[in-house]
C-alpha cells in the first residue's frame, strides 16, 4: 500500500499576502494594460501536487495572463499524472504497484536522472525509495497512536532491504525495481521540478519577469532588475520570520521535520535517513537557495540528515547556499 508522502514547506515571501485558500486572478483593475515589468503583477493562486501554488506575472494584461495560466494548469496536470502519489492513475503509482513501467515519458526519466545526480552528491542521503519507510512508520503509528518508540529494529532492518536508489534501473524502454516490494516517492523533488518546468514554459512564451511557486519558489527576471525577498520562518512560531534573504534569478526551498510528524508527540518526522531508517532530522529546518528549484528541493530534504561538512561539499557542487536552523533555533549559514 502506497501512502502519499507529503511535505509542508515553511517559507515567507516579503510583501506577499498570507492567504492560503485557492483564488482566481487578483489584479488591480484600475491600472491600464499591459502592465509594465516594474508595475503590479497579475496574480493567480491555486493547488499543485496537493500544495498551495501561486504565479505572479509581470508585463502582461489579464487576457494574456489567463491564456498563460491555462497553459500552466495543463502542464501541471500532465506532470501530476506522472509524479503524484495522490492520483491513483498516476504513472508513479503504477510503477509502485507493478514494479515496472514500460515506455516511461521523458519527464520521468529526466527527473530520475536528477535524482541519481543528487543521490551521488549527498552520499545516498537523498533517496526517493524511502516510500517503504513512510509506509512502515505510518502503519506503526496508525496501529499504536500513542507509541513513543519507532517501529522495531527487525522491522526497520527488513524494510531497509527495499531502500536503495541503485536498485532503480531506468532507460528509454522502462523503469523497474530490482527488488519486489520497493516503492518510489518523488515528493522530495517533484514540486521543485514542476516549478522549473513552469518557469521554462513562461520564459518560452515571452514572460521576462515572474515569481513561480509550485510548492517551491523560483523567481526570474531576464533583465536582472528585480530582487525577491524570501524568509525563513521560525519553527517555534510560524507567524514569525527568523531571517529575510534577497534572491535574484534563483530558487528557494525549505524543509522542516516539524512540518509533517508521524507520531502524536512529534518526535518522528517524514524526513527519513535512507541509510539507517531513522526519522529524526539533525536540524529544525533547512533552507536552500540554488539555480534550480529541483536542486533546492532535493537538497533541503537530504541536508536535513547530513552533517555540515558534507552539506558544504554537496552545496558547492551546485552553487547552492544553505541556512540551517539548529536545535536551539540559531541559524547557521553555509554559503
d(CA 306, CA 77): 34
CA terminus-to-terminus distance, the chain? 41
Instruction: Read off φ and ψ for residue 282, nearest 5 degrees.
Output: -75, -30
Question: Which residues 6+ apart lie within 8 Å of 249 measured at CB?
Answer: 219, 220, 221, 224
Show Cβ contacts of residue 124 under 8 Å, excluding neighbours closer than 6 positions: 165, 274, 275
Q: Are 191 and 184 in contact (CB under 8 A)?
A: no
**127 annotated to bind ligand:** no
Distance CA 24, CA 226 (A): 25
Q: How far are the Cα atoms of 84, 161, 240, 329 from residue 235, in angstroms, in the given order?
A: 27, 33, 9, 8
Between the CA atoms of 48, 254, 123 and 308, what dihedral angle is there, to the nearest 10 degrees? Answer: 180
277: left (phi over 0), alpha (psi -120 to 50) or beta: left
* CA distances in angstroms from 32 to 35, 38, 40, listed in the order given: 7, 13, 11
301 is in an annotated binding site: yes
Grid cell listed for 118 = 543528487
Task: Indicate the DSSP class of residue 199.
Answer: H
188 is in an annotated binding site: yes
Half-sphere exposure of 195 (CA within 13 A, CB side): 36
Instruction: Provide the annotated binding site for Mg(2+).
Output: 188, 297, 301
Instruction: Provide the annotated binding site.
Output: 188, 297, 301
Amino acid at each position: 500500500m502506497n501512502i502519499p508522502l507529503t511535505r509542508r514547506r515553511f517559507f515567507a515571501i516579503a510583501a506577499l499576502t498570507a492567504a492560503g485558500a485557492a483564488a482566481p486572478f487578483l489584479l488591480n483593475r484600475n491600472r491600464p494594460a499591459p502592465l509594465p515589468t516594474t508595475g503590479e503583477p497579475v496574480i493567480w493562486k491555486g493547488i499543485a501536487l496537493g500544495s498551495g501554488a501561486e504565479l505572479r506575472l509581470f508585463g502582461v494584461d489579464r487576457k494574456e495572463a489567463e491564456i498563460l495560466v491555462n497553459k500552466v494548469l495543463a502542464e501541471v496536470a500532465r506532470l501530476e499524472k506522472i509524479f503524484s502519489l495522490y492520483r491513483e492513475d498516476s504513472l508513479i503509482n503504477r510503477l509502485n504497484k507493478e514494479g515496472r513501467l514500460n515506455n516511461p515519458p521523458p519527464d520521468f526519466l529526466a527527473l530520475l536522472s536528477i535524482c541519481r545526480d543528487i543521490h551521488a552528491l549527498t552520499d545516498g542521503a537523498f533517496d526517493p525509495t524511502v516510500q517503504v519507510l513512510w509506509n512502515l512508520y505510518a502503519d506503526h503509528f496508525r496501529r499504536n497512536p500513542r507509541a513513543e518508540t519507532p517501529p522495531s529494529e527487525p522491522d526497520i532492518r527488513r524494510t531497509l532491504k527495499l531502500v536503495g536508489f541503485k536498485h532503480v534501473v531506468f532507460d528509454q524502454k522502462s523503469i523497474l525495481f530490482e527488488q519486489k516490494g520497493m516503492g518510489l516517492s518523488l515528493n522530495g523533488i517533484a514540486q521543485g521540478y514542476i516549478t522549473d518546468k513552469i518557469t521554462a514554459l513562461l520564459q518560452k512564451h515571452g514572460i521576462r519577469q515572474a515569481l513561480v511557486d509550485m510548492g517551491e519558489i523560483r523567481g526570474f527576471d531576464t533583465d536582472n532588475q528585480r530582487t525577491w525577498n524570501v524568509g525563513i520562518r521560525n519553527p517555534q512560531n510560524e507567524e514569525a520570520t527568523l531571517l529575510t534573504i534577497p534572491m535574484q534569478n534563483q530558487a528557494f526551498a525549505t524543509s522542516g521535520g516539524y512540518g509533517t510528524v508521524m507520531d502524536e508527540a512529534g518526535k518522528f518526522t517524514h524526513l527519513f535517513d535512507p541509510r539507517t531508517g531513522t526519522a529524526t532530522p539533525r536540524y529544525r529546518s533547512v533552507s536552500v537557495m540554488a539555480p534550480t528549484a529541483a536542486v533546492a528541493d532535493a537538497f533541503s530534504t537530504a541536508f536535513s540528515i547530513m552533517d555540515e561538512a558534507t552539506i558544504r561539499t554537496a552545496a558547492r557542487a551546485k552553487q547552492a547556499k544553505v541556512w540551517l536552523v539548529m536545535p536551539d533555533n540559531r541559524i547557521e549559514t553555509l554559503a
